[in-house]
């Protein structure tokens, strides 16, 4: 698999397997392509990615936003972002806004589900999973109750104040 770059050579791991089957000039081209962004290290770490997604959600006036660190509880993701929209249109807008912002950060969702109905949108960014709920759907599933041992990540200002001002209910 061509997932990492060998130190010092600029050549992807696994390219050495091809040395006997391709010419040296072709190998050089393969090695030069390995420096492309798709093979490069992630541009942001998991927490920065979660904060960027939270910022994008708040730009679309997401309510009851919470970022949970679940790394120590689950192999699914390092962070969950849970937010509420007050209509199906707002749920879709929040999800779309997060997707657009993450794209600007060089991150693309592995999977996006639920945006067509707008009741529960899930965006999987590998180490960050975003759940955007319609208000009644969030109340019904109460997802954060399944993660009581998760640590809530404090947002930096001014986003912390903005999230506090966009509370519909007491969380917990």
Does residue 2 surpass a pLDDT of 50?
no
Confidence class for position 171, pLDDT limits 50, 70, 90: low
What's the rounded Cα separation, in Å, for the pair 139 and 124? 21
Does residue 25 surpass a pLDDT of 60?
no
Q: For the residues 113-128, what does the mean pLDDT come to? A: 93
- Partners of 82 in the beta sheet? 66, 131
Percent above pLDDT 90 for the chain: 52
Structure token pair of residue 104: 């600007």
Pairing of strands 79-85, 128-134: parallel
Domain regions of the chain by residue span: 1-41, 46-165
* CA angle (45, 60, 69) in 5-degree steps: 35
Does residue 38 surpass a pLDDT of 80?
no
pLDDT score, position 170: 58
Q: For the residues 21-30, what does the mean pLDDT come to? A: 38
Least Cα distance to 94 among 44, 144, 50, 130 occurs for 130
Higher pLDDT, residue 110 or 17: 110
Q: For the residues 40-62, what does the mean pLDDT come to? A: 86
- 148: buried, middle or exposed (CB in 10 Å: 19+, 13-18, 0-12)? exposed
Least Cα distance to 4 among 16, 49, 107 occurs for 16
At the top level of CATH, the class of 46-165 is alpha beta
pLDDT score, position 160: 87
Beta strands in the chain (DSSP E): 63-69, 79-85, 111-113, 120-124, 128-134, 151-152
Confidence class for position 6, pLDDT limits 50, 70, 90: very low
What mean pLDDT is reported for the chain? 78
What's the rounded Cα separation, in Å, for the pair 34 and 94? 34
What's the rounded Cα separation, in Å, for the pair 85 and 89? 8
pLDDT score, position 91: 97
């Amino acid at each position: 698999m061509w997932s990492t770059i060998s130190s010092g050579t600029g050549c992807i791991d696994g390219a050495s397997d091809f040395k006997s089957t391709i010419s040296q000039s072709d190998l050089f081209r393969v090695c030069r392509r390995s420096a492309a962004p798709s093979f490069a290290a992630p541009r942001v770490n998991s927490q920065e990615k979660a904060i960027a997604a939270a910022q994008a959600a708040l730009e679309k006036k997401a309510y009851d936003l919470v970022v949970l660190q679940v790394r120590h509880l689950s192999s699914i993701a390092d962070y969950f972002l849970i937010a509420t929209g007050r209509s199906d249109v707002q749920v879709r807008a929040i999800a779309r806004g997060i997707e657009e912002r993450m794209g600007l950060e060089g991150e693309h969702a592995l999977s996006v589900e639920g945006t067509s109905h707008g009741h529960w949108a899930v965006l999987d960014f590998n180490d960050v999973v975003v759940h955007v709920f319609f208000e009644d759907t969030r109340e019904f599933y109460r997802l954060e109750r399944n993660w009581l041992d998760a640590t809530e990540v404090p947002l930096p200002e001014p986003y912390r104040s903005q999230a506090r001002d966009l509370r519909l209910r007491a969380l917990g």
